[in-house]
Chains A and B, each alone.
Chain A
Amino acid sequence: MTSSEPRADRFTRELAVLKIPDPAAGRAGLWLRLGIALMVLGLLLGAAAYFLSHNTSDALVQRDALALGLSGVTSSVVGSALFLRYSLTGFLRFWMLRQSYDIALLADRLFEKDIQNEFSSTDSAPR
């Protein structure tokens, strides 16, 4: 405690400036589902645009179909980005946990081996 300010007062002061995120921002699952929905919507819009343009020779309707198709592409791209962002985060988190667990396990094994070696090298009793 280097400061002369009482800890409780410092705690109060530090908390006063603490930024608390909107709980809605943490709803990764919701964003992930939205991403999937947008990708599916993109495919549906593309298919709808295809049938719309092929069932008519009217250039105006075909332009509408073109706009619909482009909306489908946009929806798919945005959906894919959202899906990748939130699924990758989950995967990387899991991967990091797995790495951390494996390294801890390896360290334990090496440590045990070290202790065994130490005991066997100092033991002068005949075997």
Chain B
Amino acid sequence: MSAAYERTKGSVNSLLELREIRAGYDRITVLHGIDLRVAAGQVVALLGPNGAGKTTALRVAAGVHPVTSGQLRLAGRDVTGANPGDLARAGVCLIPEGRGVFPNLSVRDNLLMMTFTGRPRAEIEEIAFARFPVLARRASMPAGTLSGGEQQMLALARGLATDPAVLLLDELSMGLAPLVVGQLYEQVAEIARQGVAVLVVEQFAAAVLGIADDAAVMVRGRIERRGHPDSGLRAELAALYLGSSPT
């Protein structure tokens, strides 16, 4: 169990905290009072089957989805209802499912777009290319021609360009080979070690549980189980996905 995991037991060190969050779409409630906490330097995995409400929880954490009740707290301050743009400027970075890169722009231009944060182009490229050397080799290629893993690397690099304090990742492994997923999660762990609070939403748990300090399992908008990602949690997850009791 990491030091970050120990720290999160007190809410003071939590950079991100969801308290009794209820949210939904029109009259359909998707989240039924979820509690979640991520400390600086910690990776928390939010797992669960399709339709459990994981992405909605992540969008609530980024401030882009309104809550019907509950609190979104960042670094101990209640920021429920704050402008998502302001939260992003403060250091909340959401990397959505589907990567969100501009396919018709080159890798370099995709990174250039992140200069809106005030960081110089050279610094953004230096950080991105040092962490993902493959992007340096593909710098002038259109992002749409990169492999899925490389596009995900580019999305991560763009996220890092914002100098995030809280990183929210949605389905990082979607459509990628296990080897590539492993490499990406190694980078995520490295980012967390630099003091970034990372919340990862995943449907396929195997890769993320290898690096997570804490995990929560969501089913039908409720957190059914949470704890350190040990073998017990893995068995329970398998049962939840397959719809049977763990043996």
Contacts and interface: CB of A to CB of B under 8 A. Distances in A.
Interface of A: 1-2, 6-8, 10-12, 14-16, 18-23, 26, 104, 107-108, 111
B195 A7 contact: yes
B130 interface: no
Contacts, number: 64
Contacts of A1: 163
Contact of B75 (A8, A26, A104): A8
Contacts of B86: 18-19
Given A8-B40, A108-B104, A23 B75 contact: no
B81 A11 contact: no
A10 B74 CA distance: 12
B142 interface: yes
9 contacts: A1-B163, A7-B40, A7-B163, A11-B166, A14-B89, A15-B77, A18-B87, A21-B83, A104-B104
B82 A11 contact: no
A8 B195 contact: yes
B104 A111 contact: yes
Given A7-B165, A8-B75, A15 B195 contact: no
Interface residues of B, number: 29
B90 interface: yes
Contact of B165 (A10, A19, A108, A111): A10
Given A107-B104, A111-B104, A11 B79 contact: no
A6 B196 CA distance: 10
Contact of A11 (B74, B83, B104, B194): B74
Interface string B41-54: 00000000000000
Nearest to B120: A2
B77 A11 contact: no
Interface string B28-58: 0000000000001000000000000000000
